[in-house]
Amino acid sequence: MERKMRLLGRNYTTTWAVEMTPPEMYNWEIVSSDGLLVPGSHVENRYTEAGEWTKVTTTVQMSLKSIPGFLQSWLIKRTLTQADDEDLRFLRKLHA
């Protein structure tokens, strides 16, 4: 799956492999990137029942090319938050 991402004011195209074991686990791994994300980086969500709710545990293992380690965590967290916001806006449009 291809996804365009914006990081540090620039647009990049990334190719992701998705592994799904519904309803327990979804894993997104970067296969290639024309930007800063290092192939092999991934995001994994695990889903467990928590009473009437579903608990989502997210594990992120990502690296960025040419970015000092002390900035990587902040940039990755910011980028994933932006992706979540975009996904939520898209879902709201579907249900509007």
pLDDT tens-digit series, residues 11-65: 889 999 999 988 899 999 999 999 888 999 999 999 999 999 889 898 989 998 8
pTM of the model: 0.71
Domain span at residue 36 reads 2-94
Say if residue 39 is preceded by a cis peptide, omega within 30 of 0. no
Residue 36: name the closest of 7, 15, 73, 64 by CA: 64
Count of domains for the chain: 1
Task: Determine the pLDDT at residue 18.
Answer: 93
Task: Determine the pLDDT at residue 13.
Answer: 93
Residue 16: name the closest of 4, 6, 1, 26 by CA: 1
